[in-house]
Structure 1
Amino acid sequence: MDNLWLRQLPSGDRARLSRAAELRPFARGEVLCEAGESADAVWLPLEGVVGLAVVLDDGRTVDSALIGREGLVGVTCGPMNGRAASRAVARADGAAACIPAAAFGEALERSVRLREALARFTEGLFAQVQQTAACNAQHSLEARLARRILELQDRVEADRLELAQHDLATMLGVRRSGVSEAAALIERRGLIRRGRGWVAVADRKGLEGLACGCYAMLRRVEGELGFAA
């Protein structure tokens, strides 16, 4: 298990953060940080996927970003302003190196390189949030679903994803029946296979062709910033 953002830090910063970290597993559906609440830790995923979910006033949610072992969760709440802007919820089982917010904040104050690395990640995260907003407004559900499956596969690093239709509907902020119809269309094209509680990528190139251009654009941005999953 490894966190790619942590790996690219100078050895002194890695050691400082590693000393403060505690290994914590998380399960699909587990809330790591609730919107509006104080956050007491920064999570650096070693495996698994975490979604940043925007919570609407009627209780519905839609994910604005996905984070795997290429990044970290909690930087927009813990050491920065103390409150979480969104709900951080596990979208795939995994584990993280969990660092107290105070210790992470102290490390930031001591290291210019650490602040630069955090700024690069935050730039990429902001790009993902912006692109997701535009994508949700302009692109078909079929294309958005293809994009989301690809993004999950990139972070899980496996062809089979343990996901129910309810999970995908929650991430995309749509009805489960809509996801069912879109997934059936994609499956008929031979791009995915489905079973009860799982989805498997059968033709990645075909799925990339079906996905909207947001997927390729974000992969390019993440690669340029040096933290692609």
Structure 2
Amino acid sequence: MPENRFLSTLGRADAALLGPALRARSLARDDLVACEGRPVERVVLPVNCILSVIAVMRDGREVETRTIGFEGGYGLLHALGSPVSYERVIAQVPGDAYELPLAALAQAAQSSPSLVNHIVSFAQASLIQSAQTTACNAIHGAEQRMCRWLLMSQDRLGSNILPLTQEHLSIMLGVQRTTVTAIAKDLQARGLIANGRGRIKITDREGLKRIVCECYEMLEDGVTQMVGFSPAAQTS
């Protein structure tokens, strides 16, 4: 099981500051972590779950802007500025996480410049992913983007079994569910994945990497530059 990298790379003094406020929790699929227009009350730091950060349009349409796994957390930057969320955040893949009150992280940051630097580095890594995902959604086709999501999810879970639904996939890709079904059937026919009920099994990782767009590698490189660790390291 991967550790949460934000926590595991804290200095000893900063870890001591946050330790008393940390609590372990389990997230079920679709659990709401943050809601657009509402204050963020808790920072959530995934261990073996994946959070989906979603932009919601006025007409109700949704599109995923980034995912967060054990390499980071949601709410970090809110501790240094406005506590209001402008995104909806849900547990896309269920699992374990740590959480701490936003106020506790904000208070600790006031007394520790090293903690502020740590927060900023991990927040920048998340913003890099959001920017690259936006570019990817505008430029690359749905098949390449789906391969990117599958590879990134495998990296964050350390497993070739990905528990997900077609509804989640359609939100991630910003396409109709019929498009997701067609892509999944084609990838399965090519021996790259195996579709199951509520899950996808990756059967040929290298095959997916031959299809995926450049954004997969660029995203991993961006995280590595900011925090010194690539989520893909555990599946390479």
TM (norm. structure 1) is: 0.96
Residue matched to 2:96: 95
Q: 1:51, 1:90 within 8 Å by CA — same for their partners in 2?
A: yes
How many residue pairs match? The answer is: 229
- Deviation for aligned residue 1:19: 1.0
Q: How does 1:104-119 map to 2 (within 5 A)?
A: 104-119=105-120
**DSSP 3-state at the match of 2:94:** strand
User: Where does 1:166-181 land on structure 2 (aligned, <5 Å)?
Assistant: 166-181=167-182
Q: Where do 5+ consecutive residues of structure 1 fail to align?
A: none
In the alignment, is the contact (CA less than 8 A) between 1:40 and 1:78 conserved in 2?
A: no
Q: Amino acid of the residue matched to residue 91 of structure 2?
A: A
Does the Cα contact within 8 Å between 2:47 and 2:97 map onto a contact in 1? yes
3-state DSSP of counterpart to 2:81: helix
- Distance across 2 between alignment mates of 1:73 and 1:227: 18
Give percent identity, aligned residues only. 35
- What displacement does 1:77 show? 3.3
Deviation at 1:228, TM superposition (A): 2.5
Specify the alignment match of 2:183 in structure 1: 182
Q: Report whether the alignment pairs 1:40 with 2:41.
A: yes
Q: Which residue of 2 aligns with 1:228?
A: 230
Shift of 1:211: 0.7
1:77 corresponds in structure 2 to: 78
**1:194 has 2:187 as partner:** no
Report the CA distance between 1:61 and its aligned residue.
1.1
Measure the CA separation in 1 of the matches of 2:95 and 2:79: 21
Amino acid paired to 2:110: E
Residue aligning to 1:212: 213
Residue identity matched to 1:72: G
**Structure-2 residue corresponding to 1:22:** 23
**Cα shift readout 1:94-133 (whole Å, capped 9, x = no counterpart):** 1221111111001111111111111111221111111111
Q: Deviations over 1:142-165 (max 9, x none)?
A: 000000111111111110011121
Q: What SS does the aligned partner of 1:158 have?
A: coil
Q: Cα RMSD over matched residues?
A: 1.3
**Cα distance in 2 for residues equivalent to 1:109 and 1:227:** 26
Q: Which amino acid aligns with 1:184?
A: K
SS at match of 1:47: coil
* CA distance in structure 1 between the aligned counterparts of 2:210 and 2:29, rounded to whole angstroms: 28
Taking the aligned partners of 1:20 and 1:159, their CA distance within structure 2 comes to 34
Matches within 5 A, 1:48-63: 48-63=49-64
Please report how far the alpha carbon of residue 78 of structure 1 lies from its aligned counterpart in structure 2 after TM superposition: 4.6
Cα 1:149–1:169, aligned 2, differ >3 Å: closer, same or farther? same
Q: Which runs of 4+ in 1 moved over 4 A?
A: none
**Partner residue, 1:7:** 8
Write the mapping of 1:126-141 to structure 2, written as runs, cut at 5 A.
126-141=127-142
Instruction: Tell me the distance in 2 between the aligned counterparts of 1:117 and 1:228.
Output: 16
Question: Does the residue aligned with 1:83 lie in a helix, a strand or coil?
Answer: coil
Match of 1:157 in 2: 158
Q: 2:234: which partner in 1?
A: none
- Measured against aligned partners, the alpha-carbon deviations of 1:32-53 in whole angstroms (never above 9, x if no partner) come to 1101101111111122100111
Unaligned runs of 5+ in 2: 232-236
Quick check: 1:79–1:102 contact (8 Å CA) kept in 2?
A: no
